[in-house]
Structure 1
Amino acid sequence: MKRNILKICILFLSIQTYAQNGIWDQLPAYADPLVIGEKLVKNYLSSDYRHFDEIPGTPPYIVYPETCTWLGALVFSEKTNNKALLKDLEERFFPLLGKRKELMQKPNHVDNTVFGVIPLRLYMLTGNPLYYHIGIDFADRQWQLPKSSASDSVKHRVFLDNGLSWQTRFWIDDMYMITAIQSHAFLATKDKSYIDRAAYEMTVYLDSIQKPNGLFYHAKQAPFFWGRGNGWMAAGMTELLKNLPKDNKHYPRILSSYQHMMRTLKSYVNKEGLWGQLVDEPEDSWTETSGSAMFTYAMVTGVKEGWLDKKEYAKVARRAWLALMPYLNDNGDLREVCIGTNVGSTKEHYLNRRRLVGDFHGQAALLWCASAMLVP
């Protein structure tokens, strides 16, 4: 009897969620983003700080996949007004201020500087000024030249003189890392200079590395449309567009590039409704879930924000969300996540990459999806 009542409550909650949303058809209870998100957050909180999954042991500092998962958990706690989850997620930060302070990131690299989103998000959720000062220092130092060798200083100075971060690399994951921290600094301060410079940086990246089909090579020497690499660009444009004032002069350019990418992604959906390890080869490459979740997040947000046509894209996003569910095990670990991947010179380099279970690259992206599917 109690079990039946619980099922009825979950079903009612699902109906309410999507009735308010007006975007998705009713989802089955097993795919309810409230249930999935809570499972993912509890999974995250059940473990200590983790290194990259391919590197055993305690990390030397918080690595960016954990930062992205932590951020996703904070956003989910905010969307669901779950104070208990927020408390647990805030307490995870406390050791970094004391007995485990060596794990606190330093804003000395684009992948490290993104860590500043955690204290900035905590500041916005709690009002504690300590978090503000820690986080805003990360954002500020992304545009402040550090002390370095003479050759590095010359290279970095050229970027700064052209309005770009000294951490510019023209790697595809940069455009999530930079836009996330600078968008959070804007949200925390209401100072448009943070998001304005991120928007300009994005346009330079788009002009430099977006291909005519709207997708992105992993690198110039790696002419392959790697899934998660493209996922970072999709998520980065999404994050920026969510927060960028529409009167910003770069808004139309970024929106157009985002829409171009989404059109191409829609044409490369595989038979499961997801995307392959190599995006443009849906028949020949295995389904990769972290990139698929990032694309799903970008499409869900685009439909909700009105950037994408609802009739055309809502069904694609809904199908992808449902197709991701069988890849999530009972412990809340997502499988078929590509291991961390540097630039490769052959197609086989990407197709033969090891597939992980519970890697934070996948956990983060699925959490972003769960939060994006909630109201409002």
Structure 2
Amino acid sequence: MEYVLLAVLASILPSFAVARPSSYAVWAADSAIARGQGNGLDSTGKASVSYEHGELQWGLKQLYDTTGNQSYFNYILAGANNIVFDNGTVHGGYTLTDYSLDPVRTGPTFLYLYQMTGQSKWKTAADTFRKQLETHPRTAQGQYWHKLRYYNQGWLDGIYMGDIFYAQYTKDFQSSNTTAWADITSQFNLMFQNSIQATGDANNIGLLYHGYDYSHTAAWASADRGHSPEVWDRALGWYAMALVDALDIIPNSQPGHATLLNILQTIAPKIRDAADPSSGVWWLVMTRAGHSGNYFESSGSAMFVYALLKGVRLGYIPDTDGSIVKAARKAYEYMTSHWVVSNGDGSMGWTNTVEVGSLSGNGTYEYYISVPTDLNDLKGLAAFLLASIEYEKL
């Protein structure tokens, strides 16, 4: 009787189980969706305009393009509908007067949905963010402040948050607006010039500090250019992803395309060289490799894999000896073997993503390593989705 019962159970249980997909990209996306992540709602079910959701939706868009699975498009649409009323008003905590670049990361979703559906609400929502950029505070050089409360500060994070939208909006509606194209280029270039490490800097690895304060009033601002003291992996990851994504949008005919290409080709080999030789992935604080308390961080590592592989695939990054793709492969294989965990229900979990990194305090090494890591943090999981899409295109 027991054997009969076991046989019956064995025949029933598989129909309720969710099979693990062969694609890590699909597995990451399906797992996020199963948990209700990135759906325009916060943990309490309230509407929330979140850059993390915009990052996931960017990946779901690419996965939809690759697989044709309608459920990914439907999830993007449902999530955006949660933060935009039928008349195009953006709600979910968005306030223009905060002048934060973070919410603008959902803007590419609005532009995509307008392209796909033709519904005017999405154009109206996108116009809201474009109007914010018109009055957003800037440094005397023209760099957008990261947020109103961060006086005169440019952060690498903000380039990903604001300028992919800025570029896509310009391409879609103002393609001949050379002033806008030049401004987008300037955002990238000012960030690069003000935060790139100088030859004589301590712990110089040739990469970009987390941010800078043009007014030199922040506690962490250096005496020379006002930059912060450390190279934080996720901030550089945001910037690297922004470069390859923007190059995909800015027309070759615009001078800015060559400018961004030069920046990417300058930092890509340095990112490759900064990887830990043994594991192949990157340290949380890249300027302090191997120091006590430092660790391999998953979101920045995934972002680098995405940026490097996409950059090589599209011909933006020369890789004549194959070393960049080799480095990205090694890092990706470490990620799947160390940071992807099976939950036993068909879904996957993602580990080792640091919760936050801010320049609101003193920007010290001790600060960065004091921030806890989180399980299934969407900033890291979405980056892994993007990295997996590129890896699977190899």
Alignment match, 2:116: 125
The alignment partner of 1:333 has SS state of strand
Worse overlay, 198-207 or 209-218: 209-218
Name the residue aligned to 1:286.
295
CA drift at 1:40: 4.5
Partner of 1:153: none
C-alpha change, 1:127 and 1:374, in structure 2 (3 Å) is farther
**Alpha-carbon deviation of 1:166?**
6.8
Match of 1:103 in 2: 92
Match of residue 52, structure 2, among 65, 70, 75: 65
**What secondary structure sits across from 1:170 in the alignment?**
strand
Verify: 1:354 aligned to 2:360, yes or no. no
Q: CA deviation at 1:216?
A: 1.6
Q: How does 1:15-34 map to 2 (within 5 A)?
A: 32-34=23-25
> Percent of aligned pairs with the same residue?
18
Contact kept, 8 Å, 2:41 with 2:79, in 1: the verdict is no
- AA partner of residue 306 (structure 1): G
Say whether the 8 Å CA contact 2:298–2:351 is kept in structure 1.
yes
TM-superposed deviation, 1:126: 2.7
Q: Which protein has the bigger helix share? A: 1
What CA distance in whole angstroms lies between the structure 2 residues aligned with 1:300 and 1:170?
Answer: 27
Which of these two proteins has the greater Rg computed from alpha carbons? 2
SS in 2 for 1:287: coil
Q: Residues 184 and 125 (structure 1 numbering): CA distance in 2 closer, same or farther, change over 3 Å?
A: same
**Pair 1:342-2:358 in alignment:** yes
In the TM superposition, residue 63 of structure 1 has moved relative to its aligned partner by 2.2
User: Which residue does 2:284 correspond to in 1?
Assistant: 277
Work out which of the residue numbers 333, 356, 359 in structure 1 matches 2:349.
333
Report the counterpart of residue 332 of structure 2 in structure 1. Answer: 321
Alignment match of 1:248 (pick from 251, 254, 279): 254
Cα distance change, pair 208–44 in 1 and its aligned pair in 2 (3 A): farther
For 1:61 and 1:240, the matched residues in 2 are separated by 26
2:210 pairs with 1:218: yes
What's the CA shift for 1:228?
0.8
Q: In structure 2, what residue type is equivalent to 1:176?
A: Y
Q: Distance in 2 between matches of 1:101 and 1:136?
A: 10
- With structure 1 as the length reference, what TM-score do the two structures score? 0.78
Asked whether 1:208 is paired with 2:207, we answer no
CA distance in 1, matches of 2:176, 2:34: 36
Pairing partner for 1:300 from 309, 327, 334: 309
Judging changes above 3 Å, is the alpha-carbon distance between structure 1 residues 125 and 216 closer, same or farther for their aligned structure 2 residues? Answer: same
Where in structure 2 are there 5+ consecutive unaligned residues?
A: 1-18, 147-151, 199-204, 213-219, 221-227
Match of 2:5 in 1: none
Residues in 1 aligned to 2:41 and 2:143: alpha-carbon distance in whole angstroms: 31
Counterparts in 2 of 1:357 and 1:249: CA distance versus 1, 3 Å: same
CA shift for structure 1 position 219: 3.8
Structure 1 pair 190–98 and aligned structure 2 pair: CA distance change class (3 A): closer
Q: Give per-residue Cα distances to partners, 1:145-203, cap 9 Å, x unaligned.
A: 6xxxxxxxxxx3765xx655576731121111122211221343262434442112211
Indicate the structure whose relative CO is greater, using CA pairs within 8 Å and at least 6 residues apart.
1
CA distance in 2, matches of 1:42, 1:325: 19
